[in-house]
Amino acid sequence: MRREIDGVVYDTNAATVDKKFTFGAPGDPAGYEETLYVTGEGKFFVYTYGGCKSRYPQENITPIDDVKAWILSH
């Protein structure tokens, strides 16, 4: 997925996966994934996607400023 936010391009195909959290079993409509990426410029973002009944029924990208807080929340 590729998305431009505030003039910065975030692209899951061009960035590197740093951490990944999976909630629920494969195929679970309430299950979802949160994947932390880092760009070549050192910017972090989270790619989220899940089942139709999950907290992320549509894929999305969210820039992250406080990576440590995000990781500790999991």
Q: Could you tell me which of 43, 40, 41, 21 has the C-alpha nearest to residue 31?
A: 21
Q: Cite the DSSP H helix spans in the chain.
A: 67-72
Query: What integer pLDDT is reported at residue 32 of this predicted model?
Result: 97
pLDDT in tens, 3-54: 999 999 999 999 999 999 999 998 999 999 999 999 999 999 999 999 999 9
pTM: 0.91
Count the Cβ atoms, other than its own, within 10 Å of residue 7.
Answer: 5
Residue 28: C-alpha distances to residues 20, 23, 51 (Å): 17, 9, 7
17-31 core/surface letters (b: 16 or more CB in 10 A; e: else): eeeeeeeeeeeeeeb
Q: Tokens for 63?
A: 């820039």
